[in-house]
């Protein structure tokens, strides 16, 4: 047994019966391997209310302290759960692995029926680690930063609750890119290229690329196409006009910050990357074949 993971944290955002089942299965597996287990505070409260302990003392750990307390964090839920915890844990550099209890499960690498096998392999040292960089979006008003948030998938500039066209200009490293009218703009990492940006017509990018994709949302001109730029660039967006709407910056579709005409939105790479851990044999292209149905043909026949 590897000495690398002596303490493992278990966290979950959704608290459905299936998620609780996987939390308990993960706990049982880890304790059986002699691993010290801690729980996110909200997850532990739920277990204390609904499930009897198996005899071991259950220890709570705040999300703020998790990065220094645990050697590995197991996130149980869908990709949305991984996005939420990933933003919070990236700065600590603690590795994170996901057990998929959601839909697509692009980031969560372990299926519920594989918990015992895959966690055993990981704790034996059979794993790989991918570093997924985040974006940091800050809103500047009158020379001051009024808000700042991070995103693992994407930063989306949109008119808010109502569908309205907005006009903005975009700069990259102080070089003017374009003045555009559209329903908004998606700025995505390689991790987020298979999410909202893909639905909007953006390219699929390998997670190891150091690049950012800019995808217009329903642009006024058909020649406005997705643009891939260097990952170390700094984007600056300035809202020029918007009619009867309350524009906002949305990070991973989970955090929403309003802004107004005249504000500058600065988007750049966040200093710390999320360290996602995968069982050995994980392949990005296999995930694409499985999750995006690349291996299917018309008529229902599949290829290997």
> Sign of dihedral through CA atoms 151, 79, 95, 229?
negative
Question: In whole angstroms, how large is the CA radius of gyration of the chain?
Answer: 21
Residue 252 appears among annotated catalytic residues: no
Other Cβ atoms closer than 10 A to 199 = 11
**CA distance linking residue 43 with residue 40, whole number of Å:** 5
Contact 146, 288 (CB under 8 A): no
Q: Identify the residue whose tokens are 């939105």.
A: 265
Of 200, 195, 197, 173, the C-alpha closest to 187 is 197
**CA distance linking residue 207 with residue 189, whole number of Å:** 8
Task: For residue 20, give both structure tokens.
Answer: 């609780």
> Which member of 21, 48, 71, 79 is catalytic?
79
Reported for 53-57, long-range contacts at CB under 8 A and 24+ positions apart, including other chains, are 54/27, 54/28, 56/31
**CA distance linking residue 101 with residue 14, whole number of Å:** 9
Other Cβ atoms closer than 10 A to 89 = 24
Task: For residue 286, give both structure tokens.
Answer: 């296999």
**Which residues are catalytically annotated?**
79
């Amino acid at each position: 047994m590897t000495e690398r993971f002596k303490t493992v944290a278990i966290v979950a955002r959704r608290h459905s019966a299936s998620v609780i089942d996987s939390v308990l299965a993960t706990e049982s597996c880890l304790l059986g391997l002699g691993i010290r287990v801690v729980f996110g505070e909200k997850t532990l409260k739920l277990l204390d209310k609904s499930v009897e302990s198996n005899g071991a003392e259950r220890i709570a750990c705040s999300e703020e302290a998790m990065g220094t307390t645990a050697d590995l964090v197991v996130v149980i839920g869908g990709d949305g759960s991984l996005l939420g915890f990933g933003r919070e844990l990236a700065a600590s550099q603690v590795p994170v692995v996901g057990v998929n209890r959601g839909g697509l499960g692009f980031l969560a690498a372990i299926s519920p029926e594989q918990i015992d096998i895959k966690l055993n392999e990981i704790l034996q040292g059979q794993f790989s680690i991918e570093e997924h960089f985040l974006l940091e979006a800050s809103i500047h008003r009158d020379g001051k930063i009024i808000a700042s948030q991070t995103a693992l998938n994407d930063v989306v500039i949109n008119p808010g609750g109502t569908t309205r066209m907005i006009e903005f200009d975009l700069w990259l490293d102080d070089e003017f890119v374009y003045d555009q009218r559209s329903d908004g703009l998606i700025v995505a990492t390689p991790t987020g290229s298979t999410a909202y940006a893909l639905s909007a017509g953006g390219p699929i990018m390998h997670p190891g690329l150091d690049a950012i994709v800019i995808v217009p949302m329903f642009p006024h001109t058909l020649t406005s196409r997705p643009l891939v730029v260097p990952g170390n660039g700094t984007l600056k967006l300035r809202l020029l006009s918007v009619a009867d709407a309350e524009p906002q910056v949305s990070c991973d579709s989970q955090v929403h910050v309003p802004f107004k005409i005249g504000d500058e939105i600065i988007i750049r790479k966040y200093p710390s990357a999320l360290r996602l851990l995968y069982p050995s044999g994980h392949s990005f292209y296999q995930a694409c074949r499985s999750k995006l149905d690349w291996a299917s043909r018309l008529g229902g026949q599949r290829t290997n």
